[in-house]
Amino acid sequence: MDLFKKCYTYDSAKKAKAAGHYPYFHTLTSKQDVVVNMEGHQEIMIGSNNYLGLTSHPDVIKASIEATQMYGTGVSGSRFLNGTLDLHQTLEKELAEFLHKEDCTIFSTGFQTNLGIISAIAGRNDLIFSDKENHASIYDGTRLSYAEVIRYNHNDMDDLESKLSTADPNKGKLIVTDGVFSMSGDIAKIPEINRLAKKYEARIMVDDAHAFGVIGEYGRGTAEYFGLEKEVDIIMGTFSKSLASIGGYVAADHDVVDYIRHNSRPYIFSAAIPPANTAAALAALRILKREPNRAHELLAIADYMRQGLKKKGIEIRESKVPIIPIYTYTPIRTMVACNLLFERGVYVNPVLPPATPIGECLIRTSYMATHTKELMDEAIEKIAAVLEETKDLMD
């Protein structure tokens, strides 16, 4: 059989394009901001993870340009060899201090960060307990580790305890969870996870990609939100959201981070994050540190949007973060609604199976600290109109 047969026979995207329902790969021709230009349209951007609105901040842009002028466009090697810049080390030091951890190291992408952490610290004789709604990078990291993976029902602490209680006490145990779940906006139950981790001698790893810069008094994420920074053993996060760049980090005890530096294949065998991206993330971190109110403004505008949608009778999934899923149920309604919103100047993200269970398709919307109430009012009116027009497509 031809290896490429599945490629030649794959027609889902072709059918959607032919029907005019295809909602992906719209082309940006402007900065990522509250309003963007896409394919000749001006769009209110409520489908971005630019939570603090820093991708167009002049200090972040300036830092990126100056780093390129000083260091060039790339490092041409891994951190393990010739690719470590003093800029990398400065960012790591400031992140560790900000997160109240002994040490930190950075990776070239967020996806790679989860691969690199999990595959380094867990092995064939270990057990990983993973929330079923964890990010795909966690799923792939667990596969790469060769550890036994035990998945527990989403945010279900009774199920987690049931599985921990029957686990081999002689094996190393890691509980890994998203801090803020990227599709639902749910917040992990860290206090309960911490209680179970202590009871069953497990370690805790939290993926704070969607929590850093979002929750906690100073925007430090899930552990700060619950007052459990000392209890969470490993904090992972990304630069591609609140920190307006690309890359990721791991913060933990020095010995843990140093072990990852010397044993993580994705870390050792990948080129280091380029100077421009490192400087951008560092500049964004410094803005967050001096302007922690940005995180509070972000939650306030998200709550304004949430209340506005509810007043229109729009069914949403309740959350406390700037991720608001709007239920559309069927793939066809989801795609049609997203395309209609795009035509009318509102960019949102369609979420279809396998990213969501069959029958639970949704539109994922997300917000920035720099959004205005006027923009939100306009988006609410257009969303309400489109959902009304497409309600017959739910069957």
H or E segment to which residue 205 belongs: strand 203-207
- Dihedral pair phi/psi, residue 268, rounded to 5°: -70, -35
Which 3 state secondary structure label does DSSP give 393? helix
Phi-psi region of 182 (alpha: psi -120 to 50; beta: other; left: phi over 0): alpha
Question: Does residue 196 contact residue 204 with C-beta atoms inside 8 Å?
Answer: no
* Gyration radius (Cα) of the chain, Å: 21
Catalytic one of 101, 210, 371, 382: 210
The span from the CA of 307 to the CA of 267, in Å, is: 43
Question: Does residue 225 contact residue 215 with C-beta atoms inside 8 Å?
Answer: yes
Half-sphere exposure of 140 (CA within 13 A, CB side): 11
**Residue 182 among the catalytic residues:** yes
Amino acid 42 reads: Q
Catalytic one of 119, 137, 182, 366: 182
**Residue 21 among the catalytic residues:** no
**Residue 241 among the catalytic residues:** yes
Bridge-based pairing state of the strands 248-252 and 103-107: antiparallel
Q: Which residues are tagged catalytic?
A: 182, 210, 241
